[in-house]
Chain A
Amino acid sequence: MGRIVGIDLGTTNSLVAYVDAQTGRPKCIPGPSGSTLCPSVVSLDADGSVIVGEPARRRLLSQPERSIYSVKRLMGRGPVDVQNELKLFPFRIDPKSNHVIRVQLGDKVFTPPEISSFILRELKNWAEAYFGESVDRAVITVPAYFNDAQRQATKDAGKLAGLEVQRLVNEPTAAALAYGLHETQRGKVAVYDLGGGTFDISILKLIATTEGDIYQVLSTNGDTHLGGDDVDNLLQAFVHERILQTDQIDFSPHGELAQGLRKELIELKHKLSEADSATLRFLLPNGKLYIHEFTRGAFEALIRPVVDRTMMPVRQALADAQLKASEMDEVVLVGGTTRTPLIRRTVQEFFDRKPHTELNPDEVVALGAAVQANILDRGVQNMLLLDVTPLSLGIETYGGAVAKIIPRNSTIPASAQELYTTGVDNQTGIDIHVLQGERELAKDCRSLARFTLKVPTAPAGLPRIEVKFLIDANGILQVGAKDVRTGEQQVIEVQPSYGLNDNDIERMLEESIEYAEQDFAERQVIEARTEAEAILAATSKALANPNAAALNGEERARIDSSITALKSAVQGSDYKLIRRQIDELNHGTEHLAELLMNSAVQSALQGKNLAEV
Chain B
Amino acid sequence: MTTSLPIANPPLVCWSCHERTVGTHFCSSCGKVLQVPEHTDYFSMFEFPRKLRLDMGTVEQKFLQLSWKLHPDNFVNATAEEREISLKRSSELNDAYRTLRDPVARVEYLLAIEGARKEGQNKQQAPPELLEEVFELNESLDELREAKTSGIDTVRLKQKLEAAERNFEEKLGEVDGQLQAAALDWDKAIEETAADKALRDSIKSRLNDLLNRRSYIRNLVVNVQKELL
Contacts and interface: CB of A to CB of B under 8 A. Distances in A.
Interface of A: 166-167, 207, 209, 211-212, 214, 216, 375-377, 379-380, 384-386, 407, 410-416, 470-473
Contact of B67 (A376, A384, A407, A472): A384
Contacts of B98: 407, 410-411, 414
Contacts of A384: 67-68, 71, 73
- The residue in A410, A411, A415 that gathers the most chain B C-beta atoms within 10 A of its C-beta is A411
B77 A413 contact: no
Given A209-B64, A209-B65, A472 B76 contact: no
Nearest to B91: A413
Interface residues of B, number: 19
B68 A380 contact: yes
B74 A414 contact: no
25 contacts: A209-B64, A211-B68, A216-B64, A375-B73, A376-B76, A377-B76, A379-B76, A379-B77, A380-B71, A384-B67, A384-B68, A384-B71, A385-B73, A410-B94, A411-B98, A413-B72, A413-B94, A414-B91, A414-B95, A414-B98, A415-B92, A470-B88, A472-B72, A473-B72, A473-B87
B90 A413 contact: yes
Given A209-B64, A411-B98, A380 B73 contact: yes
B95 to A, nearest CB: 6
Lowest 6 A-B CB distances belong to which pairs? A413-B91, A415-B91, A411-B94, A376-B76, A473-B72, A211-B68
Nearest to A471: B91
Contacts, number: 66
Interface of chain B, helix or strand or loop or mixed? helix
Given A380-B74, A470-B91, 6 more contacts: A209-B68, A211-B65, A410-B94, A411-B94, A416-B95, A471-B91
Interface of B: 64-65, 67-68, 71-74, 76-77, 87-88, 90-92, 94-95, 97-98
Contacts of A379: 74, 76-77
A588 B133 CA distance: 101
Given A375-B73, A379-B74, A472 B68 contact: no
A376 B72 CA distance: 9
A380 B64 CA distance: 14
Contacts of A207: 64
B95 A386 contact: no
Contact of B73 (A209, A376, A410, A416): A376
Contacts of B97: 411
A207 B64 CA distance: 9
Contacts of B92: 415
Contacts of B94: 410-414
